[in-house]
Structure 1
Amino acid sequence: MSAVIDFLNTIFWGYVLIYGLLAVGVFFTIRLGFPQFRHFPEMFRAVIGSGENDKSGITPFQALCTSLASRVGTGNLAGVAVALYLGGPGAIFWMWIVALVGMATAYAESSLAQLYKVRNEQGDYRGGPAFYLARGLRAPWAGGIFSVCLILSFGLIFNAVQANSIADAVQGAFGVPKLWVGLVVAAISGIVIFGGIRQIARVAEIVVPFMAAAYLLMAILILVANFSEVPAVIGSIVGNAFGFQEAAGGVTGGVMAAMMNGVKRGLFSNEAGMGSAPNIAAVATPDPHHPSSQGFVQALGVFIDTILICTATAIMILLSGVLEPGNGVTGTQLTQAAMSSQIGAIGDYFIAVAIFFFAFTSIIGNYSYAENAMTFLGAGSKAPLSVLRVGVLAMVVWGAVQSVSTVFNAADASMGLMATINLIAIVLLSGTVTKLTRDYFDQKKQGLVPHFHAAAYPELAGHIDGEIWAERPEK
């Protein structure tokens, strides 16, 4: 079985996704007219202007925070360190490129998720790639495969990996046994996820801004303290990316090492095109009441994850001078060493606390995606969801005390399959995304607040929920 899993991962992550995710990002960037650059302020307006809500959905800000809860995880700390160790400073430049083109992909998939969303038995919004596969492409079988892969990877296995990261960090910094760490994390997670997606959204909108702001503030303080060295760091990132400078770092060395490691870590971190964030994007009540507005919200999530938080980690490591290729110190250990060199022994504790919050929020964010998938599979009632929630908590405890490398490889294969399905779907539906985008900005040019009018999309009749898009949300 492990040989089959390794083969699938080689195909998915060695060929299909590394090039496919980039290609799709470039495709949407060009086809939509560079929306992540031309309409960057619209991303903030779609979040800040979240004045409308209804009883069926969560606010755009809550959706942003919940998606960030999943996106911002140990990859922002350990993953960036690995990219630097294997690819050198130039890897960060390619992470930036991946994020910038990925913002267009995130916009496309989340706009589609909004468009094809439905109400579940309780009257709450649900949607995501499985729904636009079934309703947009008339391929419910593909939606079923996607949903199963999403539940296995994000709902169960990745949560074990996040718990493992928390247990390692807390044991290393405070000496707490891993089993106790797992039990505590499971208990806290249970309080949140048994409250459903609304409870997760309420917790995320409080915890995520706090954890992101605290981490970025520490990075800014370190940057200010080393301000004279910052230009050289930026120069090493750009120079190493194109081979103009043989900067320190990079076990394998060279432009290709920087590119491949930056691309891989960037894709893992921001999740653009994976089909994960659209599951929570569909749950939001968009403001303005148009699918494109929630697309812009989730594009901003990619920007925050990679351009801000991953960059903060990278600059801290490069300013510290602790990056030494070949010495075996990478991942969380490298990030902790960098922080300790700047603020002393408290750096180990700060990173441990940061990992706790980053990984914990990933657990609850990942679960919210799985709940959407359960709805698509017809298992969104109380009993099946309770089984899923207990399974998630069991995986948290198990992951805290186990080595999860083999299982993590299986999750990679599962995620690779769902991402491949999602990329095919959004490219096939790109005409709809283009029409939505044009409609949104045509209305803005007329001085109107964009509003989706189903009558202007006769080709969608019978494929979208007419009641959802025929009404204005109750204020």
Structure 2
Amino acid sequence: MSTLDSLIVEVNDGLWTYLLIPLVVCAGLYFTVRSRAVQLRLFPEMLRVLKDKSQPRADGSKPVSSFGAFTISAAARVGTGNIAGVATAITLGGAGAVFWMWVMALVGGASAFVESALAQLYKVRDGKEPDGAASGTYRGGPAYYMQRGLEKRWPGVLFAVAITVTFGFVFNAVQSNTITSVASGSVAGSGASWFAPAVGLLLAVLLGVAICGGVRRITSVTTVLVPVMAVVYLLLGTAVVLLNLGDLPRVFGDIVGGAFGFKELAAGGIGAAIQQGVRRGMFSNEAGLGSAPNAGAAAEVTHPVKQGLVQSLGVFFDTLLICSMTAFIILTTTPELSGRQGADLTQSALTDTLGGWAGHVLTAVVFLLAFSSMIGNYYYGESNIGFMTRRAWVLPVYRALVLAVVFLGALGSVGVIWNLADVFMGLMALINLLAIIPLSAIAFRLLDDYTAQRRSGLDPVFTRSRMPDLTGVECWPDTPTAPERRETVGAGSGAP
């Protein structure tokens, strides 16, 4: 088993170091230049769009809003990697790894915009009501825009298999195992043989309740969990930073110095900082990997660009806010790292500053992080199974397998599986990036259309008549079905 693990790690390191990291960075820079830095230029517009309210349909049902889709993707993005993964990146790459995580977030925001705008454009209706009628919900993502935009189904199927295995099964097993491990350090009697199976069974039951109601149930859960866990964790981190306020100048010095310092360059440490920061940044915010567009496609918005902007904001939320807080917690309290790694390093930093109670609170936060990730991970698999087949029996089987994997993941080690997941995730990124690079021209046309409408004082509305040459577009009307809503501000006031 150790030989197999070593082989997987070697293949994975080579794949990311020599192929995927350069490809992701170059693609992000290209998208940034072509969009005139959309992720920075339209940041105020992202906040405005996030507050858009979705109107109830004629049947009284409530569609998935931009914020609801944002929380689904954030649920999958913001996981234990934001606590354990950042700590590991700092341990292996030093404080300088944090700087390169920030760089990846700023560059990756453009990639997130492109892939999510495309997912919105090429989304399809999810007709899974009992009577067979269209349900009014949507699904989409890389598999869908590969088939409809590139007019090639086989890369879509390959991507759908990769994301279903990686997120639906492997990552959910990892999250279940992480919850069990953290809980065992806080709950009395956790060493008993019944503890891990009990936790696994509880997680399977809770996840089953969350997912069996479909995308609307998933949205209703994540819109509560994600803000709660983010606020609690940020409050803990803020308390630590305030109590160590005098160390902040040193921390920023360590971050910048570790990224560019001559000492690190001479020792070869700068290479480790870049590799760990870039790689952890990609794993954390998922920009360009093709996972978040599956959630972005579920939203009901008036223009595809709106969800592209919202998903780009999600990259900043994940890395510049949550991951940065983890880095500040660690670097303000344990500058020498004390030989600890992963979540243990973050937990010890909290308890050293705030006391033992903070470790128990972190356990609850980790539970919320990991459980919300499990919900988002499940949805990614469901969306892509719908792409591969519409046979009625497949989805219940998938749900049963996911719940079984969650239970089994609580029982043992998942080291080999985690490393194998890295390879699958790399395959996802490779397939997705090779698709969105040629399709990005369409995303930039959408952006131009959106900004032109905003400059005219309109709340942008997209119809197929605005780009009649596009094929494969299913869910957007041919012409406006209602008068376009005009902003209360004058034309050009505050518009992009």
CA contact (8 A) 1:116 1:464 kept: yes
1:283 paired residue number? 298
1:17 to 17, 20, 35: 20
Partner Cα separation in structure 1 for residue 469 and residue 10 of structure 2: 41
Partner Cα separation in structure 1 for residue 482 and residue 85 of structure 2: 40
Amino acid at match of 1:410: L
Seen in structure 2, the aligned counterparts of structure 1 residues 112 and 274 have a Cα distance that, compared at 3 Å, is same
SS of the aligned residue for 1:80 comes to: helix
Is 2:393 the counterpart of 1:387? no
1:313-338: per-residue Cα shift (whole Å, max 9, x none)?
0001011126436x3x1001101110
Amino acid at match of 2:468: P
1:102-156: per-residue Cα shift (whole Å, max 9, x none)?
1110010000000000112232211100000000001111111111111111011
1:344 paired residue number? 355
Amino acid at match of 1:241: A
CA contact (8 A) 2:86 2:323 kept: yes
CA contact (8 A) 2:463 2:477 kept: no
For structure 1, which segment, 316-325 or 114-123, has the greater mean C-alpha deviation from structure 2 after superposition? Answer: 316-325
Partner Cα separation in structure 1 for residue 225 and residue 7 of structure 2: 39
Partner Cα separation in structure 2 for residue 347 and residue 322 of structure 1: 19
2:259 paired residue number? 241
SS of the aligned residue for 1:458 comes to: coil
Superposed, 1:167-206 pairs within 5 Å as: 167-175=180-188, 176=190, 177-206=195-224
Seen in structure 2, the aligned counterparts of structure 1 residues 5 and 229 have a Cα distance that, compared at 3 Å, is closer
2:67 to 39, 43, 61: 61
Amino acid at match of 2:363: A
CA contact (8 A) 1:106 1:299 kept: yes
Is 2:197 the counterpart of 1:217? no
1:94 paired residue number? 100
Is 2:83 the counterpart of 1:70? no
1:117 to 120, 123, 135: 123
1:271 paired residue number? 286
Seen in structure 2, the aligned counterparts of structure 1 residues 468 and 410 have a Cα distance that, compared at 3 Å, is farther
Superposed, 1:107-186 pairs within 5 Å as: 107-122=113-128, 123=134, 124-175=137-188, 176=190, 177-186=195-204
Seen in structure 2, the aligned counterparts of structure 1 residues 466 and 356 have a Cα distance that, compared at 3 Å, is closer
CA contact (8 A) 1:85 1:323 kept: no
Partner Cα separation in structure 1 for residue 277 and residue 321 of structure 2: 15
For structure 1, which segment, 355-364 or 11-20, has the greater mean C-alpha deviation from structure 2 after superposition? Answer: 11-20
Partner Cα separation in structure 2 for residue 338 and residue 385 of structure 1: 43
CA contact (8 A) 1:215 1:354 kept: yes
CA contact (8 A) 2:96 2:270 kept: yes
SS of the aligned residue for 2:316 comes to: helix
CA contact (8 A) 1:57 1:125 kept: no
1:309 to 322, 325, 328: 322
Superposed, 1:366-377 pairs within 5 Å as: 366-377=377-388
Cα deviation for residue 244 of structure 1 reads 5.2
SS of the aligned residue for 1:119 comes to: strand
1:30-55: per-residue Cα shift (whole Å, max 9, x none)?
11000111111111111112344545
For structure 1, which segment, 129-138 or 252-261, has the greater mean C-alpha deviation from structure 2 after superposition? Answer: 252-261
Partner Cα separation in structure 2 for residue 29 and residue 3 of structure 1: 37
CA contact (8 A) 1:454 1:466 kept: no
1:45-71: per-residue Cα shift (whole Å, max 9, x none)?
111123445458411111011110000
CA contact (8 A) 1:243 1:254 kept: no
1:62-105: per-residue Cα shift (whole Å, max 9, x none)?
10111100000011000010011111111101000001111110
SS of the aligned residue for 1:212 comes to: helix
TM-score, L = length of structure 2: 0.89
Cα deviation for residue 5 of structure 1 reads 4.4
Cα deviation for residue 157 of structure 1 reads 0.8
Is 2:443 the counterpart of 1:433? yes
Amino acid at match of 2:71: C
Percent identity between the aligned chains?
A: 44
2:467 paired residue number? 457
Cα deviation for residue 11 of structure 1 reads 4.0
Amino acid at match of 1:27: Y
Aligned length: 465
Amino acid at match of 2:385: M
Partner Cα separation in structure 1 for residue 53 and residue 166 of structure 2: 31
Cα deviation for residue 362 of structure 1 reads 0.3
2:34 paired residue number? 31
Root-mean-square deviation (CA, aligned residues, Å) is 2.1
Seen in structure 2, the aligned counterparts of structure 1 residues 125 and 473 have a Cα distance that, compared at 3 Å, is farther
Seen in structure 2, the aligned counterparts of structure 1 residues 58 and 399 have a Cα distance that, compared at 3 Å, is same
Amino acid at match of 1:26: L
Partner Cα separation in structure 1 for residue 223 and residue 269 of structure 2: 41
- Give the unaligned 5+ runs of structure 1: none
- Give the unaligned 5+ runs of structure 2: 129-133, 486-496
SS of the aligned residue for 2:337 comes to: coil
Partner Cα separation in structure 1 for residue 411 and residue 51 of structure 2: 41
Partner Cα separation in structure 1 for residue 384 and residue 107 of structure 2: 27
Amino acid at match of 1:153: T
CA contact (8 A) 1:130 1:144 kept: yes
1:320 paired residue number? 333
2:269 paired residue number? 254
Is 2:411 the counterpart of 1:401? yes
CA contact (8 A) 1:86 1:253 kept: no
Cα deviation for residue 12 of structure 1 reads 2.6
Partner Cα separation in structure 2 for residue 92 and residue 131 of structure 1: 34
2:494 paired residue number? none
For structure 1, which segment, 174-183 or 46-55, has the greater mean C-alpha deviation from structure 2 after superposition? Answer: 46-55
SS of the aligned residue for 1:459 comes to: coil
Amino acid at match of 2:45: E
Seen in structure 2, the aligned counterparts of structure 1 residues 373 and 293 have a Cα distance that, compared at 3 Å, is same
CA contact (8 A) 1:162 1:362 kept: yes
1:353 paired residue number? 364
1:274-320: per-residue Cα shift (whole Å, max 9, x none)?
1001001001012xx11000000101111010000000000010111
Amino acid at match of 2:283: F
Partner Cα separation in structure 2 for residue 147 and residue 132 of structure 1: 12
SS of the aligned residue for 1:173 comes to: coil
CA contact (8 A) 2:463 2:476 kept: no
Partner Cα separation in structure 1 for residue 287 and residue 391 of structure 2: 26
Cα deviation for residue 228 of structure 1 reads 2.0
2:87 to 64, 67, 81: 81
